[in-house]
A = this chain, B = another copy of it.
Amino acid sequence: MENERKLTIARSMAEATAQEMRRDENVFVMGEDIGQLGGVYGNTRGLIEEFGSKRIRDTPISETAFIGAAVGAAQDGMRPVVELMFVDFFGVCFDAIYNLMAKNIYFSGGKFKVPMVLMTSGGGGYSDGGQHSQVLYGTFAHLPGMKVVCPSNAYDAKGLMATAIRDDNPVVYMYHKSLQGMGWLGTEQGATVHTPEEEYTIPFGEAKIVKEGSDVTIVGVGLGVHNGLKAAKLLEEKGVNAEVVDLRTLVPLDRDTVFNSVKKTGHLIVVDEDYQSYGLTGEIIATIAERDITALKASPQRVAYPDIPIPFSRPMERFALPNPEKIVNAYAKMKEQ
Interface residue ranges of A281-337 to B (CB < 8 Å): 281-287, 289-293, 296, 298-302, 307-309, 311, 337
Check: A200 CB closer than 8 A to any chain B CB.
no
A106 proximity list for chain B (CB < 8 A): 130, 308-309, 311
Check: A139 CB closer than 8 A to any chain B CB.
yes
Task: State A141–B284 Cα separation when bound (angstroms).
Answer: 18
A279 proximity list for chain B (CB < 8 A): 142, 278, 282-283
Task: State A212–B297 Cα separation when bound (angstroms).
Answer: 30
A142 proximity list for chain B (CB < 8 A): 138-139, 142, 274-275, 277-279
Segment with Cβ contacts to B, from A94-102, A112-120, A169-177:
A94-102
Interface residue ranges of A92-137 to B (CB < 8 Å): 92-99, 102-103, 106-107, 130-131
Q: Is the CB of B308 within 8 A of A290?
A: no
Each complex incorporates copies of this chain amounting to 2
Check: A51 CB closer than 8 A to any chain B CB.
no
Check: A253 CB closer than 8 A to any chain B CB.
yes
A71 proximity list for chain B (CB < 8 A): none
Q: A281-B286, A286-B282 are in contact. Are A139 and B130 (CB under 8 A)?
A: no
Q: A130-B103, A292-B299, A309-B106 are in contact. Are A144 and B282 (CB under 8 A)?
A: no
Q: Is the CB of B308 within 8 A of A144?
A: yes
> What are 12 A-B contacts defined by CB distance under 8 Å?
A88-B99, A91-B93, A99-B131, A102-B309, A144-B307, A144-B308, A278-B279, A282-B286, A282-B287, A285-B285, A285-B286, A293-B298
